[in-house]
Chain A
Amino acid sequence: GAGVSQSPSNKVTEKGKDVELRCDPISGHTALYWYRQSLGQGLEFLIYFQGNSAPDKSGLPSDRFSAERTGGSVSTLTIQRTQQEDSAVYLCASSSTANSNEKLFFGSGTQLSVL
């Protein structure tokens, strides 16, 4: 597609439920990143993929969070047993390579609200 696409754009869920967030990167981009944007916390790195493998999962806040990427394209971020502190905007970005100079293209994010 023309840009990074994320779905849903908004998700409201009840505490304790599982949620799945989807990211469609720009076609051909091998690197894919997940970030979380919370008020007052800025952009928090969660995980990144190079192809289908995740060299760095260090940012995942707990074992309730997991992510996968299949076919070197679409990625899903799953949050199990959601808590109110999980409420945030979840941003996905992709780049053509994982080179440190490479420009990231961001999606518009998924606004997650846990009630």
Chain B
Amino acid sequence: GDSVTQMEGPVTLSEEASLTINCTYTATGYPSLFWYVQYPGEGLQLLLKATKADDKGSNKGFEATYRKETTSFHLEKGSVQVSDSAVYFCALCQAGTALIFGKGTTLSVSS
């Protein structure tokens, strides 16, 4: 079945460092891809999405590009802030099915 694999955490960075969280997927067909974020004490919320190959989703300085050839959707940010500390989930969705999530990657940014 469809699945999402993302890098194990935790990821610990200093403020202003660059970030990459790897995400790869296995799916039949052409899923939509998402990154959701869970800030401490808050509910999950959508960070960005891409619905077809070569699309780039972006929000709050984060970017991810839908790469069909490598079945990847890596999350990147050039300069992280302490406020970016959260758990990040990669996910995919196909028509008629529910979102399938990866296991989550915890990011901790220190000043």
Chain A positions near chain B (C-beta within 8 angstroms): 4, 33, 35, 40-43, 45, 48, 55-56, 59, 91, 93, 98-101, 103-109
Contact = CB atoms under 8 A, between A and B. Distances in A.
Interface in B16-74: 31-32, 36, 42-46, 49, 51
Contacts of B95: 99-100
Given A100-B32, A106-B43, A56 B89 contact: no
B7 interface: no
Interface residues of B, number: 24
Contacts of A40: 103
A56 B31 CA distance: 17
B99 to A, nearest CB: 6
Nearest to B99: A104
A56 B100 CA distance: 13
B2 to A, nearest CB: 11
A42 B6 CA distance: 11
B104 A45 contact: no
Given A40-B103, A41-B103, A101-B51, A109 B43 contact: yes
